[in-house]
Amino acid sequence: MQRGRQLVKCPSPQEYSIIRDNDAEQRWRTQMGNGKTLIREIMARLQSALATLPVENAGLFSITLAAPRLRLTHLPSLEGHWFYWSKPSQGETLLGTGEALRLSATGDHRLPSLSSRFESLRQDWLQLDPDNSGFRASAFCGFAFDPADRMAQNWHGLPNAAIFFPELLLHQSGNKCAITFSFRHNHPQKTLLRGRHLLQTLLDALRQPPAKSARTILSRTAATPSDADWISQINQATSQIRRGDLDKVVPFRRISVRAGQPFNPSRLIASLDDLYPSSLLFAIRLDSSTFVSATPERLISLRDGAISCDAIGGTIGRAGNPLQDLELGRKLLNDPKSRHEHALVVQGILDSLRPHCRDLHAPERPTLKQLRNLQHLWTGIRGTLRERGALLELADSLHPTAAVSGFPSARAGHWLSEHQLTPRGWYTGAAGWIDRQDDGELAVLLRCALLNGDQAELFAGAGVTSESCPIAELQETELKFGTMLEALEHA
């Protein structure tokens, strides 16, 4: 199997926390003491908070309780629906279980529709924070690349676009930790019973040490399009770009791999956490679908009217030799094709955001964003909104960026619909979290895996411009596959 990871000599995941976490249960006992005592303490505080809710409250309400003795050291093995978001390098994690409510939408107006419904709901979304934890009640959200995608076949179980309100949400930021319980109706006894069940289930899962990771051999079972068809597609794209029909398009490839045992999402997240700590990790389990992404690219972050976006375009590998690695970075920074591809991404984001912002800034030159097995041209874009904006409305303006579709967006989308008939599902869509103040963060879903037992589907794309070489673009997708392939070997 061809992989990009051989370009870098780095420690294997077993030299990281996968082995380190064999003593997780002992750390649990040291940090939290008796689990039954912790449950009694939290349930008593939840009962006290419930007693202060208005009797007539019939909308969504959330109660956030500080949990300083609780510590999330790994994604536990959970049954049912769960949601996960993490920024390992910053020590920020959200883990949600159960669903208090789900808002779903599809079609061209899916994000404005979700945004409008969320706005109506959050007006009556009551949060109690008796411990002054400072954490806001939050929901998870995500959407597919194509608004018309019916999410069939392997994508079945994941909606086209949705906001998920977990019944139990664990917040962790640095050394601070809290739990938010969210429910739709104030039935104290039912709420306490459900809250206790969710908490007990989470603590039982966390008490289990991470399963040991024996390296597994992956076999590649399918690829769409084939290498020959991919080369033909890239040649067609470059011809149309040279004719002036469009400036850039981003086709993608999908491969299927099989392991000798069912993939374990917890071990996969542990591997990605160690291998790619600067990435944004997102995972979701709904019905029989488990989707995991370790992406370097943030679509948008919104906090108190300030927005941040990542523009990424242009890719090259890494080298184990520092001098060779430095030379690869210089080559990327000075490559006309990559700089042009990157500039189109920046231009597209700026054009989308200008109507919403009173100031907007992007550096003139990109810098390198270096990951384990590859490096990208990166430009950080910052701005301030003219007036308070909604996260999903802004996402609707931005998505799809030129990094995942092409430029101009409409022409690139038309080319993709004509030449690539395989649905992308959530690959190159976006996902993240949104809080009750309508702040939040969404990441572009790259470096993805869709898990189903001992099988996984992986996705990778490449930005095609007039100067693209089909073989080079094929090799770029193999480099990108390497991110998830290496992690899956330890899952």
How far, CA to CA in Å, does 339 sit from each of 216, 234, 312? 38, 19, 11
Residue with tokens 């673009």: 473
CA 491/CA 480 separation, integer angstroms = 18
Q: 284 and 136, same structural domain?
A: no
Residue 7 lies in a domain: no
Q: Of 151, 178, 207, which one is at a domain's C-terminal end?
A: 207
Residue 251 lies in a domain: yes
Q: 279 and 194, same structural domain?
A: no
Q: Are 315 and 328 in contact (CB under 8 A)?
A: no
Q: 146 and 172, same structural domain?
A: yes
Q: Are strands 252-258 and 280-286 parallel, antiparallel or unpaired?
A: unpaired
pLDDT-based confidence at residue 22 (cuts at 50, 70, 90): very low
Q: Of 179, 207, 235, which one is at a domain's C-terminal end?
A: 207
Residue 441 lies in a domain: yes
Span 237-292, pLDDT tens digits: 999 999 999 999 999 999 999 999 999 999 999 999 999 999 999 999 998 889 99
267's tokens: 């071990």
415's tokens: 């080319």
Q: 265 and 129, same structural domain?
A: no
Q: 166 and 250, same structural domain?
A: no
Q: Of 174, 207, 240, which one is at a domain's C-terminal end?
A: 207
Residue range 108-129: mean pLDDT, rounded: 95
Summarize the chain as % helix, strand, coil (round to 5): 35, 30, 35
Lowest mean pLDDT among 34-38, 72-76, 162-166, 353-357: 34-38
Domain of residue 196: give its range.
18-207
How far, CA to CA in Å, does 463 sit from each of 223, 227, 299? 19, 16, 17
* Residue 128 reports pLDDT greater than 80: yes
146's tokens: 């194509």
Residue 58 lies in a domain: yes
Span 442-484, pLDDT tens digits: 999 999 999 999 999 999 999 999 999 999 999 999 999 999 9
Q: Which residues contact 109 (CB under 8 A, 6 or more apart)?
A: none
Q: 269 and 202, same structural domain?
A: no
Lowest mean pLDDT among 47-56, 102-111, 350-359: 47-56
Residue range 364-393: mean pLDDT, rounded: 95
The dihedrals phi and psi of 367, each to the nearest 5 degrees, come to: -120, 180
pLDDT-based confidence at residue 213 (cuts at 50, 70, 90): low
* Residue 69 reports pLDDT greater than 80: yes
Q: 228 and 193, same structural domain?
A: no
CATH code of the domain covering residue 232: 3.60.120.10
Q: 312 and 169, same structural domain?
A: no
The dihedrals phi and psi of 377, each to the nearest 5 degrees, come to: -75, 135
Residue 420 lies in a domain: yes
Q: 378 and 340, same structural domain?
A: yes
Residue 227 lies in a domain: yes
Q: 262 and 155, same structural domain?
A: no
- The tally of domains found in the chain comes to 2
In this prediction, residue 73 carries a pLDDT of: 81
Q: Are 115 and 312 in contact (CB under 8 A)?
A: no
* Residue 1 reports pLDDT greater than 70: no
Q: 123 and 242, same structural domain?
A: no
pLDDT-based confidence at residue 12 (cuts at 50, 70, 90): very low
CA 195/CA 42 separation, integer angstroms = 10
Q: 114 and 73, same structural domain?
A: yes
> Is the bond into 251 cis (omega within 30 degrees of 0)?
no
pLDDT-based confidence at residue 103 (cuts at 50, 70, 90): very high
Residue 212 lies in a domain: no
385 DSSP β-pair partners: 357
Q: What is the DSSP letter of 60?
A: -
Residue 89 lies in a domain: yes
Between CA 189 and CA 194, with CA 193 as vertex, the angle to 5 degrees is 115
Q: Which residue has the higher pLDDT, 25 or 128?
A: 128
